[in-house]
Structure formats: C-alpha cells, structure tokens
Structure 1
Amino acid sequence: MGYSPVPIEMIVLQGTPFCNLNCSYCDLSVTSRKQRTQMSMDMIERVFQSVFNDRLYAPKISVVWHSGEPLTLSCEYYQAAIDRIIALRDALVPGEVELEFDFQTNAVLISDDWVKFFKAHQHHMRLGVSCDGPAELHDAFRNNWGGKPTHAKVVSGMQKLADSGIPFKIIAVVTDNTLRNPDGFFDFFLNWSDSLSGFHFNILADATLASRQGLTYSRADRDRYYRFYRHLLKRAREVVEAGMDFHIQNFTHALGRILDDTTDQVVESSRPLRTINVDAQGYVTTFYAGLEKSAFAGHYGDGAGLSLGNINEASLLQMAQSKKFGRILADFERSQAQCREDCDYYGLCSGGFELSKLNEHTDFEGGETAECVIIVKTLADAVLDDISAAAQLDEAVER
C-alpha cells in the first residue's frame, strides 16, 4: 500500500544552486554553488500539479526559495513563478489552500527593484536574511568568491528593507568567534530589532565535517555553549523587562517544548513529506532542505542518497509509495525509537538529528551526537536553569 503522506506544509524550491558568496560553512558543495542551473517554469508547474492533483496539501503552504542565492535570478523570474503557482491553485483547488512565499537571502543583491518587488508581494511574502552579526563575526566566514568581506553590502541590503518598512527575519550562524563575543553578537541584532520579524541563531548542523578552524565543536565544548546560552538569556530577559520587543526564537521554541507535554516533537519535526525540497534539477528530498543527492549517495544502493526521485519522472505520491521511501522511513523510525528509549532529553528535543547520527556513528541507531549535546541538551539545561534562577530572584524580591 505504501505510506499515506501527511499534508505538505512547506515546499522548498532551489531556483538555482548558484550563489554570489562563498561562505566557509555552506551545506552546498563548491561545485554546486558555481552552477547557474535554473529551475524551469515547467518543473515548478509539475511540482504543484502533483501536490494539488493528489491532494497532498495542507490548508496553508509556505513556498520557500532557498539553497543557493535566490536573488541571483530576476524579479521577473519569481513573478512568473508566483503567477504560475497561484493560477494552478485557483484552477485545481480553488479556495482550499493559502499560499505564502518566502525568500532566504544573503541580502547583498537587494536593490531598489527588489524592494519594489517585495513591497508588491508583502501581503503574502516573508523574507529571511542571513547575517552573522557585526563585521568581525560575519566576515570571518561569509566572503565572496574573491575572498572579500561582505558585511557592508549585507547591512546596506538590510537598511534598504528597513527604510521601506519591509520586516525580515535574521538567521545567524554561531561560530567559535561568537562564543567569545556574545555581547557584540546580541547588541548588533538588538539595534535592528524594530525591523525584525524574528531572530534565530544556528549552530552548525554537522560538527564533524566543518573544514575550517572555528567551525567545529565537540561534547567537550558543552560548558562554553552553556555560558553563551545563559548570557544571551540574561541579556534577552533584561531587554524584555525594559519593555523592548526582542525575542530569540531558539529560546522561545525551547520554552514551548518544555511547556508542551502532549506532542512528540521528534516525530512531528521529521514527519515525512510535511516538508519537501526540490532542487533545480528536479530531485526531491524530504526531512532536510539543501540535501544534495550526492550526500550518502550509496546508502540505499541507487547512488542517489536520500533523494526520493525526480519530479520529471514521477509524482510525489508515487515517490511516497516507493520501496526506497519505505526504507528511509523505517530508518528514521528506528533512529527515533532509539532516542525515545535511551535519551533523558527526548521530550525536549526538536528532532532532525537522524543524519547526524548516521554521520557520527555510521548507523541510524547510534546514540547521542555532538549536535545533540550542544544544540539540544545544553540549550535545554540553560533555559531550565534560567527559569529557575528568575523564579528564585522573584521569591527573594517578594521577601
């Protein structure tokens, strides 16, 4: 019978793998990021025909352009894509699906034309900007192909958005440099708080494969990350108490998991086909955005890694009912079952570490990874200890 997929909530489209920057920690290969392959309008149409015709849609779908710099393509390209997607929705499932369009950009190429485009679509569009903080943090790893710094151009793009009243979410990567300068990191983004729709920091998803000093970490770094988290929590609490609206989503999401004991976050976050990712050549993956088919290429014996197939050759429903997808699903379920059985932090975990286990242990059933320790366990400890410290302070004041 195959797997009955849950409704698709997010579709990540790689309009192009090409990027104008050469960031040290990018998930995409250097070869990929130099390719100017472009997803065709016909391919976009095939994706959404598959979603709508097979009724795989949730009531709201976010369409995200990511995995490569989307703004290296033209405004006209995205206008045509949006028009095509909306027309298909209206023809095939009228009134049944709300569509939202998101861009994750490095902001370097934001121009007056892009600002006009974003303003015209502001009613159904969200923007995310990748910036790692002040120049000394950002430019250490986010340079162009000539090795030149990019911070000034990123800030210029952010300022164009702010001046035009276009809110944007920040995604910042935390490196070893950030741990040594938490106040510089925090204050930089606090100064942009009036223009932000959100702020989230990322710890690199793969602690073992980072190639440059300052990007790797291990279990031995737990205390350093704990101090970093606690310091940011302290600063964030002070800002909120002063009446400012500035929240770090890593902490608010962790708090939500602490307070919510009704759902299995690990299973929910990794539920197959809730999110699908389609690269510029048509290869489809789920679970992880930006996962090239060359990753773990031989694991399932077809040289295509975790790719479910190509949208030019099969529908999404056919992919969901394939034997390969069944094997991937079984592997992920075994991974989650092992965590559920052995990990004291399972109820607080955001999920999504199955491939980290495969990386570190060469097996989906391996135990904790460095990512688990730093991204989940240490963060949970910091948030819980911050709550406890605040409660004790309140009690002392009341006395």
Structure 2
Amino acid sequence: MTAALPSQALAGPALIPVDIGHDVYAAVTDPRTAFWALVDKSRLAESLSDGPLLDAYRGQAEAFGRELHALRFELKPSGVYLNPTERCNLDCTYCYLPGSQRKTGQHMPVETLVASLGRLRDYFRSVMPEGRKPRAIFHGAEPLMNQAAVFAAISEFADDFAFGVQTNGTLLDDAAVEFLTSRNVSIGLSLDGPVAGITDATRRTWGGKSVHEKVLAAMAKLKGYGSWSVITTCTTENLPYLTSMVELFHANEVPTCMLNTLRCTLPGARGVKPADGEMAKAFFAALDRSHELYRETGRKLVVANFANILIGILAPTARRLMCDISPCGGGRAFFALAADGSLYPCSEFIGLPRFNGGSLLVDGGVEAALESEAFKTVTGRDVDKFSPCGDCAIRHFCGSPCPAEAHEMNGGMDKIGAFCDFYKEQVNYSLRLIADGKADDYLWDGWDEGTETVFNLAL
C-alpha cells in the first residue's frame, strides 16, 4: 500500500500534554511523529509554547515523520510463522483457532513443507540484505504434533532460516530437546499458572487432563539454554497470580517471558477477558516484582511484551515485536503459512477464511498474497484515520492491537482492540520508568546496540 508522508510544513509541530501519573514529570508528545519529552510539571505550560523544546523539536520533526512513515509503510517481510498442522492436543479456552481444526484438522505433508520453505527462501532472498537470515517460527496449533515434518524442514534449511518453535511443551521429550537445542532453535513454551489448578482452568487436554507438570518438566530440560521463553496468557482465572508466575519463572531461570493479553478474536477468549483496570493492576505488580528480583539477584527476567512497548517509546525502529504499531506487522513484517498451504497476514487470522491470501505453491506465492485484498484489509488499518485512536496522544506507542480481534470482536478494522485503556496505562508506566532512570532494568542487556541518539535536550 502507499500512504502520504505527514506534512509538517502544513500545520507545523504541535505538542500535546500527557499526565503519566508521576510526582514530578508530565509528558508532551506529537503523536504524528511519535515524538515525546518529559518535562517538569511546573514548566508544562512553558514547554507547550514557543521556547527551547519546541524550537529544538521543530528542527527534527520532518526527519522523525519520515522515520515513522518508513516503519509503518515501507517495511518488507523478514519473517514467517509456519503452521505445519491444524491439530493440537490441548483444548485451551481462549485459543484463536477453531476447535474443529484443532481436533480433527490436517497435517502438512513433509514434502509440501519442504517445498514451501524452498519457495519462501527464494522470496526472502529477493527482499532481504545478503547474509541476513529470515525468521521462521513453527507455530500453533501444536507444531510438534507433526514433528517429523518440522524436524525434516529444520534439517534441510538450517543454513537459510533462523528457526524457532512455539510449543505447549507437552511433546518436548529429551530427543526433541536435543535436536532443537543442538541446532540453536529458539523454543517458546506456554504456562498459565504457578500451580496445576490455575493452569488447568484454561489449558488442558481434550479429555480434561492437566498438562502443568509436563510443562514444568520441559522448563527443567531447557534450564541453561540461551534461547527459550515462556508465555503466560493473562485471563480472569490467573490474573491474581501473575506475581507468582514471575517468581516461578525467575526461580527456574527463564531468560524471557511474556505476560500476554488475550487475543479476543474468537468468543471463547472473551469469556475470560479481564477488565482493563484489573489487568493493569496485576500486570504492573508482576513487573514490579520482576524488578525486585533483579535487584536482589542481579539476574533479569525480561517481560518481552512490555519491553517491546518500552523500546517502542525509547527507539521506535528498534522494537522486536510488531503488534504495537499501526499498521501492525501482519502482512508487512511477517506473514503466516497455514497447514493447507495458504498464506495469511498473521496466524491470528487462520480460521477466518476471508483473510486467506492464496496458496503459496499454487496461486502466485508471497508476492500475490501481499497484494491481495485479504492482506490489504489488514495492512491498510491506520489508527490515524479512525476514532478514538486518531485523536490519541500515544497511538503510535500502542497501535490499537490487534486487527483480528478488532475486526471480529468490535466489528471492523476501524475499531479499537480489546485492551485500549490497558495499553494507555502501559505507556504511562513506561514513561514513569524512564523518568526515574529505571528503563534499562526492564530491557535486554545490549538492547540499544546499533541505535543512535538523535534528540537529547536538557532544560
């Protein structure tokens, strides 16, 4: 798609005040460029008028606008989510994939997966810098239910992709761990409670059996490995226990975790959706506890989904995830391959037929999918153009995720996502950490390598 570059010449830079809940500082921002600054509350009016801050920003506004425009509209895909099977051995309450697919769906044959990765390798070589590997993440349903195909593909294309596997952990036996870790494949697990009773409330087998102990066993196998993480999906069932989850992960030396909001694409998730205020209270308590543990032990547990919000403020183009920007990364920074060979903007859309962009091997490949109406419906979602996002001061630190849930839950791509107020509070919390000089404690060591400070004004 194309989009006009915001013209600073027409209206000139203007700053909007934001109360971040800090004792000393407020924020000012120009949402058109994602520019922000922290100012002493006693000098807020002065900062909004002509003076050193506005003068300094005026000289940089056009460059910031170009940078944000490039991030939002000029990316080429550099990753793919691979769904080698429709099946899953679990029946999680909030899954975004239809139950009929997960229970009786198809596996992708080995030869089809290998042929697909060959086609994908050729595409990525045509759009990515030489020597840089695209990311290829085997994703849910449960990819290890088709383990033979997954492992054959990893072996065949080890030199062409940086592979990852997102698994529920129940099929991660010693042999699988040895295969994946010996090839430096990143591994993501899922665990929703500190004890079985909490996990089992939303994550269990089709027969109702617990998987909690199996995931703990998988975590024990991965301890000491550098490239693994655990996702907790935050629901009404586990919200009071997020601090305990952080303590469990830290004790088990988990390098990175995610405390993810639900994606409310399908009705099942909406029944266990926390209220925004309750989500914020529990989430920030867990972040505070992660910081306490870091101060006590010197070992970080990075909460990646929050770290991405924080980096998106500090250095927008350095963010690692592309959910918190509009348009999101679906169909722009990455796309998804379904088990039937079809391409979707993101795995979140698999199960929603209208977002099928065609077959990778039959219908013109990636290039045709990117130009399809199915993909453009997603890549055309622009928070500048609909209310209330278009008037929001922090819209480019949030991105109003997720387009799939906005469309299915709230009725269209021009609607907000499921956790509007929670995202606002995440931004305020982030700005408070920056004001207090604590931001680096919540981020990966070396996160800013290769970044450049382009605006730093002390008043």
Q: What TM-score range do you get, normalising by the shorter chain? A: 0.7 to 0.9
**Is this contact kept in 1: 2:266–2:409, CA < 8 A?**
yes
Report whether the alignment pairs 1:32 with 2:101.
Answer: yes
Aligned to 2:393: 344
Aligned to 1:373: 421
C-alpha separation in 2, matches of 1:251 and 1:347:
15
Aligned pairs for 1:281-292 (under 5 A) are 281-286=340-345, 288-292=346-350
C-alpha separation in 1, matches of 2:379 and 2:187:
32
Aligned pairs for 1:137-148 (under 5 A) are 137-148=198-209
* 1:216 alignment partner, one of 264, 273, 283: 273
Give, in angstroms, the shift of residue 307 of structure 1.
0.8
Aligned to 1:356: 405
Q: Check 1:161–1:61 CA distance in 2 against 1; reply closer, same or farther (3 A cut).
A: same
Aligned to 2:168: 106
- Percentage identity across aligned positions? 22
C-alpha separation in 1, matches of 2:2 and 2:288:
49
**Is this contact kept in 1: 2:90–2:203, CA < 8 A?**
yes
**Is this contact kept in 2: 1:206–1:371, CA < 8 A?**
no
Give, in angstroms, the shift of residue 156 of structure 1.
1.5
Q: Check 1:369–1:102 CA distance in 2 against 1; reply closer, same or farther (3 A cut).
A: closer
Aligned pairs for 1:147-158 (under 5 A) are 147-158=208-219
**Is this contact kept in 1: 2:108–2:340, CA < 8 A?**
yes
CA offset digits 1:352-388 (Å, max 9, x no partner): 422333234423223x3432223x1132233334555
- 3-state SS, counterpart of residue 8 of structure 1: coil
Q: Check 1:390–1:72 CA distance in 2 against 1; reply closer, same or farther (3 A cut).
A: same
Give, in angstroms, the shift of residue 277 of structure 1.
0.7
Task: Let me know the Cα RMSD of the aligned residues.
Answer: 3.1
Aligned pairs for 1:217-366 (under 5 A) are 217=274, 221-242=275-296, 243-260=298-315, 266-267=325-326, 269-270=328-329, 272-286=331-345, 288-292=346-350, 294-295=351-352, 304-314=353-363, 315-322=365-372, 325-326=375-376, 328-330=378-380, 332-333=381-382, 335=383, 337-338=385-386, 341-350=390-399, 352-366=401-415
**Is this contact kept in 2: 1:14–1:68, CA < 8 A?**
yes
Aligned to 1:44: 113
Report whether the alignment pairs 1:13 with 2:82.
Answer: yes
Give, in angstroms, the shift of residue 350 of structure 1.
4.7
- How many residue pairs match? The answer is 357
Q: Check 1:343–1:184 CA distance in 2 against 1; reply closer, same or farther (3 A cut).
A: same
Residue 289 of structure 1 aligns to which amino acid in structure 2?
S
- 3-state SS, counterpart of residue 267 of structure 2: coil
* 2:150 alignment partner, one of 78, 86, 98: 78
Q: TM-score, normalised by structure 1?
A: 0.79
C-alpha separation in 1, matches of 2:174 and 2:77:
34
Q: Check 1:261–1:201 CA distance in 2 against 1; reply closer, same or farther (3 A cut).
A: closer
Report whether the alignment pairs 1:117 with 2:179.
Answer: yes
Q: Which sits farther off after the overlay, 150-159 or 266-275? A: 266-275
Higher relative contact order (CA 8 A, sep 6+): 1
Q: TM-score, normalised by structure 2?
A: 0.69
**Is this contact kept in 2: 1:16–1:70, CA < 8 A?**
yes
Gaps of 5+ in 1: 90-97, 296-303, 392-399
C-alpha separation in 2, matches of 1:323 and 1:251:
32
**Is this contact kept in 1: 2:243–2:282, CA < 8 A?**
no
Q: Check 1:104–1:255 CA distance in 2 against 1; reply closer, same or farther (3 A cut).
A: same
